[in-house]
Amino acid sequence: MGVVNVTPDSFSDGGAFDEPADAIAHGRRLAAEGAGILDVGGESTRPGAAPVPAEEELHRVLPVVEGLAQTVRVSIDTMKLAVAEAALDAGATYVNDVTAFRHDPDIAGLVADRGADCCLMHMLGEPRTMQRDPRYTDVVTEVKAFLAARLEFAVAAGVPEERVQLDPGIGFGKTLEHNLELLRRLDELTDLGRPIVIGTSRKSFLGRITGRDVAERVPATIATCVMALERGARVFRVHDVAEVADALKVTAATLRRDG
């Protein structure tokens, strides 16, 4: 899953693809590098990010969704019903909701009605507050219980279980130790029976470990994706598609030989 941010304030590439033509060209490059899904987002969810009005989010994402959906599968990264609906109208077939349908529960019914796929993610609080002293008794157990409950909610709203993917929300209301514990015990989340999505790309906890700036965290991202694949993850949301895709191909080939 290649990241296509059309935001001025995303932590990694904010402002890099403000113009729709630039974002579309970037998305097509990511698809050529091996992305099976392009995740288009118009509202930053970095720690402390301010909300974006639906009208502005629509203005940012719709031209990009329309431009990419003709040639590659598109996901809309949003928590707003109006944006999700318009993006699906424009050709998206996947809704990536970092609130797991909590911000706008009606998105679940929309996904069900349209036969779309979706990703439900764990986040503690909201982007503005999620990194203010996050605490868990057992982060893996609590994240797993949350994802199980949100899966149950989606299915009850009519979304077929096979249409749902689950994301533990690395970096969303978690400390460095929480993130590492989730990666270490990721196989426990596969018990939920749905594909696990991992989004570690260029994140700040990797910078804390390596001392690298955001654009220099590709090797660290690769390390987390390889470990996640070994532990059962199946979808990898990344900025640097070619590098991660190659690493995952080699890892998958090796694991098949071992198995």
* Residues with catalytic roles: 203, 237
* N-term to C-term CA, the chain: 26
Identify which of 201, 212, 131, 217 has the alpha carbon closest to the alpha carbon of residue 167: 201
* Burial 33-70, CB ≥16 within 10 A → b, else e: eebebbbbbbbbbbbebeebebeebbebbbbbbbbbbe
CA distance 193 to 196: 9
For residue 203, give every residue at least 6 positions away whose Cβ sits within 8 Å of its Cβ, in sequence order, or none.
11, 170, 171, 179, 217
Identify which of 165, 251, 244 has the alpha carbon closest to the alpha carbon of residue 206: 244
Identify which of 181, 155, 159 has the alpha carbon closest to the alpha carbon of residue 168: 181
Identify which of 258, 181, 164, 165 has the alpha carbon closest to the alpha carbon of residue 227: 181
Per the structure block, which two tokens stand in for 47? 């720690």
Longest CA–CA separation in the chain, Å:
51
